[in-house]
Chains A and B, each alone.
Chain A
Amino acid sequence: MRSILTLAAMLLCASVALSQAAATTTNSASNQQSAEPKPIEPLGHEKVEPGECHTNKDGVKVCNDADSDGDFTVDPKTGSTTSETTVEAKNDATGTVDGIDGNDTVNCANGSNVTITGTGGTVNANSGSNGSVQNTNAAGGASITINIGGGSIQVPPGSTIPFSG
């Protein structure tokens, strides 16, 4: 009688252990299936040479004039629809930057001449830079900020403001 009970207890323990092991295996498998790959953004920027245009997935389009004396860079190169895009207009670059929004930045170096359009963001006009900023937002939308000469000005929706740093 005792041996029968001992055998029954051993079988019970073994079945419990097996069921726990099976559950662990199932959980780990389901965890592996639900894990989504993180979005990986390509590193680096896009060099836009004179005569070239480039548009990233944030919707920022940069065109460098054919007779420009400087490069533009677009960072990130591709990005996503919500990327914080930074455009650099290097020394003596002339061209256009379209489609900047609230989290984007355009830096204009000495000697550059840049025509910028968008619905938000910041333009840093360094000494010796020129250009204009057009806010294409509808009335009531966000403004674009121009930092120039140690101060800043706002470009309200529907307005265009030329600048000379």
Chain B
Amino acid sequence: MKRTHLIGGLCVIAVSAFGLSTLTVQDRSTEGVAATRVEEPREPVADQRGSFAPEELVAAPGVSQGTREEVPSLPAVPVTTEDPCASVVADLDAAIVVNNAHEKTIAQLNEKLAEVMRERDRFMYGEDTPYGAFLSSYEADEINDPNALVRIEDWLQKFPVFLGVGEATWIAERTGAKDWKLYGRTSELALIRFLGPDRLVAELPPARSAELIAYYADEPVFNQ
């Protein structure tokens, strides 16, 4: 009797255990499908060009498939990684480097030329002449623009007066900047104003003074 009860009890336990295990497996498979659908969103399908089909991008509820097919497809945009201006920019950079080097060379040559001109002119002009006196000043050594030296020489031949401190530098600066108009109607008038009309009349040779006064008789330059 005890053996019969024991076998019957074991059968009940076995049957119930099988049923439980079956139910558990079914629940787990159901949970796994649900999780998969939630965790993996649908991705649009890419075509061979790497772009997305319009219907994948504009899929909206309530819009029929026919309406979506009428939207014209966008033209293909070529994707390039090279900058078309890169070669031009590189050429320009190279030209700037070369230009800077040339400018430096020109500046050095001008400095040398100015030095040679000063030495030459010191032999040509005595210190008793306006330009010779200028060349003996420290200002002359600081003006390294040959054009400015030529201009000062030219002015002092037309207006033979002895320059004061800083006056030659002012002429050299105006020559380089070409901003005479800031100081007079012409470069000559600017210089006359800078040096002083009364001073010029007093120091210039009488014939030259008379010439200047006659030339500017119709302008308020010389108060004669």
Does B215 belong to the interface (CB within 8 Å)?
yes
A68 to B151, CA, bound (A): 17
Residues of A within 8 A of B215 (CB): 47
Cβ contact within 8 Å between B186 and A70: yes
Cβ contact within 8 Å between B150 and A90: no
Instruction: Give the dominant DSSP class at B's interface.
Output: helix
Cβ contact within 8 Å between A69 and B187: yes
Does A101 belong to the interface (CB within 8 Å)?
no
Does A132 belong to the interface (CB within 8 Å)?
no
Residues of B within 8 A of A92 (CB): 178, 180, 186-187
Does A84 belong to the interface (CB within 8 Å)?
no
For chain B, the count of residues having a C-beta within 8 Å of the partner chain is 15
Cβ contact within 8 Å between B151 and A69: no
Cβ contact within 8 Å between B185 and A110: no
A49 to B218, CA, bound (A): 12
Tell me the number of A-to-B contacts counted with CB atoms below 8 Å: 44
* Mask: chain B, 157-187; 1 = CB below 8 Å from A; 0 = not: 0000000000000000001001011000111
| Least distance between B218 CB and chain A CB atoms (Å) | 8
Does B100 belong to the interface (CB within 8 Å)?
no
In the complex, besides A49-B186, A92-B187, 20 extra interface pairs with C-beta distance below 8 angstroms are A47-B218, A49-B185, A50-B186, A68-B186, A69-B178, A70-B186, A70-B187, A71-B186, A71-B188, A91-B154, A91-B186, A92-B180, A110-B150, A110-B151, A111-B151, A111-B175, A111-B187, A126-B154, A127-B150, A127-B154
Residues of A within 8 A of B (CB): 47, 49-50, 67-71, 90-93, 109-111, 126-128
